[in-house]
Chain A
């Protein structure tokens, strides 16, 4: 029982064992103390569950593929360039976009926690936050890519970017062959979340 814990036990051990009850207990306590507005929690959840997600990043990639001037601005100062499209804010204050080329494939990780470009990709998926990805992506990126079914062409180097500061990275994938006539909306639909983290490639349309 929590009350039997010694005084030195960490405070979190005083909460109920079941995680859903634990968060409920904390929310109830903070609400009753007047410190949390449950409607504000709903608003935060609505924002990241439905409004801010990887379709933002895909729109940025598609624009970079069709607009050479935008692409140049994006690679020079990504924070300003994505700001032109209205994407900014928490966990995207200092953006850098890195471009895949035939010579170099880029992959993003945060070995120390789970840093991720929220305004462009939303909340990170479970695999990005997993111990396996955090531990292995820096040491054996090609083996990790194999877990995603990705094999890189012969001779392409891999660069892993460990997000150890407040700089947030987005990978600009290579535009596939056979997409010359496509508009931005159609191109954006080809771009997956994983391709913008560097664990997938963008395939030519079927």
Chain B
């Protein structure tokens, strides 16, 4: 059921290679341009953050695996720009650019600090929580978007069908499974749910180790 980005628990990736804090934030100049271009294009308002995440997840597994991090961002940006009618395929391929009616929404340099400082809070009014800290719950299985085949979801594959304990209620947050597909915000209660590592992986590196995820209420079922 999963897409290529859902890699928690996967084998075969080799060692993690640490880096120094003094290393350049952007290893290549084009990394910086790719990040900035992505943020500036998002400011045009033709998509939200969940839609852009889903665009990265929709890259073919072979592209996603072959691309470096910022190549994934760039590819998803190009795909979104076309899907949302901001640029045409011909323009991407090098045709002379047509004027755009979104030009008045362009992010100006003097607006950057304000836009970054405001961010995009996702806390909303919503239904009363069904679960309380300490409640035992079971996560839905399989991990999938219930309304869109191959759609966006935040229940990782490794965390599907598990017994866990609600640790914290975060209030109601925008529901990404809907928000990534232009279905509105549909806020739901969000919880930190803790799983014993042995429940998740069959065996823990050491007894008592645990993993937690932030999970929306509709991912969870009560356990008596």
Interface residues of A (CB under 8 A from B): 2-3, 10-12, 14-15, 19-20, 22-27, 29-30, 32-37, 39-45, 47-49, 53-54, 88-94, 109, 111-114, 122-123, 125-127, 129-144, 147-148, 157-167, 192-194, 199
Contact = CB atoms under 8 A, between A and B. Distances in A.
Contacts of B122: 93-94, 166
Given A12-B79, A19-B30, A194-B18, A162 B113 contact: no
B35 A48 contact: yes
A111 B6 CA distance: 7
B5 A112 contact: yes
B29 A20 contact: yes
Interface string B112-126: 110111111111000
7 contacts: A10-B79, A26-B37, A35-B106, A88-B119, A89-B119, A126-B27, A166-B173
B215 A164 contact: yes
A42 B7 contact: no
Contacts of B21: 54, 125, 192-194
Contact of A33 (B8, B28, B75, B103): B103
Given A49-B24, A123-B35, A160-B212, 14 more contacts: A24-B30, A29-B91, A29-B92, A30-B41, A93-B123, A94-B170, A111-B156, A129-B69, A132-B14, A132-B17, A141-B209, A162-B159, A165-B154, A167-B214
Interface in B1-29: 5-11, 13-19, 21, 23-29
B95 to A, nearest CB: 10
Contacts of A42: 36, 109
A49 B123 CA distance: 29
Contacts of B216: 165
B interface, size bucket = 35 or more
B120 to A, nearest CB: 6
Contacts of B71: 19, 22
A112 B18 contact: no
A143 B10 contact: no
B162 interface: no
A130 B17 contact: yes
B77 interface: yes
Contact of A19 (B35, B70, B158): B70
A182 B206 CA distance: 35
Contacts of B106: 34-37, 40
Given A35-B41, A48-B35, A160-B210, A139 B8 contact: yes
B160 interface: no
A33 B100 contact: yes
B154 A23 contact: no
B40 to A, nearest CB: 5
B116 A37 contact: no
A39 B119 contact: no
Nearest to A58: B21
Given A26-B37, A134-B8, A90 B116 contact: yes
Contact of B210 (A53, A126, A157): A157
Contacts of B112: 40, 43-44, 47
Contacts of A132: 13-17
A158 B78 contact: no
